[in-house]
């Protein structure tokens, strides 16, 4: 179906390309033995590029390649008096495939699936990549606003669709909010 959409797009319009980057606010639903842990946002950044093809005047398909620095800080209560804080950092390469609906010439809404490839993971600067799946999927929802000759700002929420942990009795489902700027070449 997606290949059919691209084939149709090649007949209707030319492709546009661009770059983007910005703030990445990563977090996760983290459970140990079915007990949800207290997590907090980890602030980092993302960088990437994209290609966009028009299907109609108002509908585009956008494919991205994006390097993102995700993670979270986990607070675990060991007993009534002792807490432990660990910072989980993950470097992922995300490949979103988004449908983009142009509400106006300057404003659009986006939604679609993404594939996330784990490049590296560490907890408190100690590698733990082997504790996570190397690939996972999720859904992305966002909006984009063009303000000057190809420059835009965007806001996107990414939600993982499943547990990415390979460790028994531990569940880790990542999510992130991205606030970015970019430039589209026409």
Q: How far apart are CA 76 and CA 84, in angstroms?
A: 5
Amino acid 19: pLDDT: 98
**Domain tally, the chain:** 1
143 — pLDDT class (breaks 50, 70, 90): very high
What per-residue confidence (pLDDT) applies to 150?
Answer: 93
Per DSSP, the three-state class of 11 is helix
Residue 49's pLDDT is 97
Residue 177 confidence (pLDDT) above 60: yes
Provide the CATH number for the domain around residue 127: 2.40.160.20
Question: Residue 186: pLDDT band by 50, 70, 90 thresholds?
Answer: confident
Distance CA 161, CA 113 (A): 10
**Bridge partners (DSSP) listed for residue 72:** 41, 88
83-102 vs 170-185, strand pairing mode: unpaired
* Angstrom distance (rounded) from CA 44 to CA 27: 11
Q: How far are the Cα atoms of 128, 163, 164, 173, 176 from residue 69, in angstroms, in the given order?
A: 15, 18, 16, 15, 10
Bridge partners, residue 110, by sequence? 100, 142
Residue 174's domain comprises 2-185
- What would the 3-class secondary structure string for 107-174 be? EEEEEEEEEEEEEEEEECCEECHHHECCEEEEEEEEEEEEEECCEEEEEEEEEECCCCECCCCEEEEE
Residue 110 CA: distances (Å) to CA of 60, 103, 106, 161: 9, 10, 13, 18
Contacts of residue 25, Cβ cutoff 8 Å, sequence gap at least 6: 41, 42, 43, 176, 177, 178, 179
For the entire predicted model, the pTM comes to 0.85
Based on C-alpha coordinates, what's the Rg of the chain?
18
Predicted local confidence at residue 8, as pLDDT: 46
- pLDDT of residue 43 exceeding 70: yes
């Amino acid at each position: 179906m997606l290949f059919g959409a691209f084939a149709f797009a090649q007949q209707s319009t030319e492709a546009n390309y661009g770059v983007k980057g910005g703030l990445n606010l990563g977090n996760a639903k983290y459970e140990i033995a079915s007990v949800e842990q207290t997590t907090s946002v980890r602030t980092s950044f993302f960088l990437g590029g994209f290609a966009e093809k028009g299907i109609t005047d108002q509908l585009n398909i956008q494919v991205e390649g994006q390097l993102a620095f995700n993670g979270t800080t986990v607070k675990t209560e060991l007993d009534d008096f002792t807490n432990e804080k660990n910072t989980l950092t993950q470097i992922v390469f995300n490949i979103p495939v988004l449908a983009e609906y142009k509400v106006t010439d300057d404003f659009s809404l986006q939604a679609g699936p993404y594939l996330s490839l784990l490049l590296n993971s560490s907890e408190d600067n100690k590698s733990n990549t082997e504790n996570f799946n190397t690939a996972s999927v999720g859904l992305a929802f966002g909006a984009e606003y063009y303000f000057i000759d190809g420059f835009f700002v965007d806001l996107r929420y990414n939600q993982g669709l499943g547990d990415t942990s390979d460790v028994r009795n531990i569940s880790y489902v990542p999510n992130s909010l991205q606030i970015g700027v970019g430039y589209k070449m026409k």
